[in-house]
Amino acid sequence: MSVGVCPGACVFVFVLVESDRVRERDETLLTAGHQRSTQKPTSHTAVSPVSDTTYGSLLNVKNERTNERKRIIIVLSPFHRPPGKMAEEGEDYFYYELVKNGGLEIKISRQIDDEGAKQVAKALMEPDTKVRSLILTYSFIQFWGALAIAKVLETNTMLQTLDLNNNDIGREGAAAIAEALETNQSLQELNLGYNKIGSEGVAAIANALETNTTLQKLGLHNNNIASEGAAAIAKALETNQSVQWLDIACNNIRREAAAAIAKTLEANTTLLSLNLSYNNIVSGEGAMVMAKALETNTTLQELHLWNNHIRSEGATAFAKALKTNQSLQTLVLDNNDIGSEGATAFAKALKTNQSLQTLVLDNNDIGSDGATAFAKALETNQSLKALSLNNNNIGSKGAAAFAKALEVNTTLQELSLNDNDIGSEGAMEIAKALETNHSLQTLGLAFNHIGSEGTTAFVTALEKNLTLQHLDIIFTSIGLEEKAAIDEALERNRRLQSS
């Protein structure tokens, strides 16, 4: 269940019924004065700040049918202040009470410092605390707070998700958490992004992964782990059989680590998603070894490599791998300067590849020639569901090519061509194709100056098209009548598709 803070509100408190046999999805919104409502929270739900009366009632909330104590899901905003009595006891005590009083998920995105983190950790040690997800982002937690939380991980068997993104735990804090991971058997997701843990901190985490058998998702982005840290993670993944999702983007690991990571991909059979974006690791030879690994890897489903300077040579190597790889479903390569040559290579691969479902190539200067090649591939490809080519200067010629493809393609659901200078001519071609296309659900044409002629063409097309649900044409001159007609048609289609 996802929750968030509404405009003008300080805290969400949700009550969930929890039993050993079944988790009921009867969610109740608890506001100040412990009034109850069966209304599910939305972005417009008005929620009052939690009072002492509310907190005092949490321990006594029961389910009348099962007599099970209800669990609380709490989201605390950066602007919340503890209510009366708890404020007198001190703000750190407030965090202890907040966690101790129960909750499947606790999310605190505000400054609590090490002392606040210690109180959270103290509450997690209480036998009645059943927190499964703890999110402490932007909380100014440093080593001592991380150490306290690490001590909890050594014995706690309930916590499944720990998110410490954007704190300052450093290498020592990472080492403390790593030591706990060696014995912890319940944590499944760990996010330590933006924590200045460096290569030494990630080496400690990597060492723990060699024995830990439960962690499935690991986020280490923006930590300056460098080549040494990346190599340590690669080595750990040669034996680790639990990690399925790994994010080490923005870490300056460079091409020196590409060979080690590629070698891991050749042998590892559990990793499903890998993010190596913004690392400058795959230019030149680096691209070749990474692409070669995909030729033999049979399990990786998502690969993110945006902003890695792979250029046309690297794109050609990855395209070659796609001709044989049948497991990769998502490939993100935006901002890599692959040009029309690289785009053409990918287009050729799509004629035979039957596994790729999402391809993102924004900001790659593929031009009309690259767009035409992709459009031609879409006439026969039956697996691609989402294609994003924003800001690629495809022009009206490229748009016309895609229009022709949409007349015969029956599988593409999302097409994003924002900021491509397609003009009214290109927009009218695509709109005409929508009259017969029955698969496209989302179309992005923002920042394209399609003019009144283009918008009128979409009004006409949507009189016949019953499947398009989202159309982005912002920053386009559009009359009130045309806008109303388009909005009404899209809403009609959404109702039809949801029924």
Signed CA dihedral, 294, 297, 303, 306: sign only:
negative
Q: Which two tokens stand for residue 203?
A: 């080496």
CB 422 within 8 A of CB 389: no
- How much is the pLDDT for 478? 77
Give the residue, 35 or 293, on which the prediction is more confident. Answer: 293
Band of the pLDDT at 110, cuts 50, 70, 90? confident
Is the pLDDT assigned to residue 18 strictly greater than 60? no
Domains in the chain (CATH in brackets) are 1-140 (no CATH), 146-237 (3.80.10.10)
Give the residue, 253 or 74, on which the prediction is more confident. Answer: 253
- How much is the pLDDT for 100? 78
The residues with which 387 forms a beta bridge, in sequence order, are 359, 415
| Across 114-122, average pLDDT | 95
| Across 270-283, average pLDDT | 89
Band of the pLDDT at 53, cuts 50, 70, 90? very low
- How much is the pLDDT for 498? 92
- How much is the pLDDT for 46? 30
Is the pLDDT assigned to residue 302 strictly greater than 90? yes
> Could you give phi then psi for residue 176, rounded to 5 degrees?
-65, -45
CB 30 within 8 A of CB 93: no
| Across 101-107, average pLDDT | 79
Q: How far is CA 257 from CA 226, 233, 254, 320, 490, in A?
A: 8, 10, 6, 22, 47
What would you measure as the largest C-alpha separation in the chain, in angstroms?
69
Range from 26-30, 455-459, 487-491 carrying the lowest mean pLDDT: 26-30
Give the residue, 206 or 130, on which the prediction is more confident. Answer: 206
| Across 65-80, average pLDDT | 48
CA distance 54 to 150: 31
Range from 17-31, 252-266, 270-284 carrying the lowest mean pLDDT: 17-31
Residues contacting 89, CB < 8 A, separation 6+: none
Band of the pLDDT at 158, cuts 50, 70, 90? very high
Helix (H) / strand (E) element for 461: namely helix 451-461
| Across 158-183, average pLDDT | 97
CB 338 within 8 A of CB 315: yes
State what percent of residues in the chain have pLDDT above 90.
Answer: 70
| Across 416-441, average pLDDT | 97
Residue 133 one-letter amino acid? S
Which alpha helices (DSSP H) does 238-394 contain, by range? 258-267, 285-296, 311-322, 339-350, 367-378
| pLDDT tens digits, 202-246 | 999 999 999 999 999 999 999 999 999 999 999 999 999 999 999
Residues contacting 261, CB < 8 A, separation 6+: 230, 234, 276, 281, 290, 293
| Across 48-55, average pLDDT | 39
Range from 13-27, 57-71, 317-331, 485-499 carrying the lowest mean pLDDT: 13-27
| pLDDT tens digits, 368-414 | 999 999 999 999 999 999 999 999 999 999 999 999 999 999 999 99
Band of the pLDDT at 438, cuts 50, 70, 90? very high
The residues with which 36 forms a beta bridge, in sequence order, are 30
CB 111 within 8 A of CB 142: no
| Across 413-421, average pLDDT | 97
Q: What is the mean pLDDT of the chain?
A: 84
Residues contacting 42, CB < 8 A, separation 6+: none
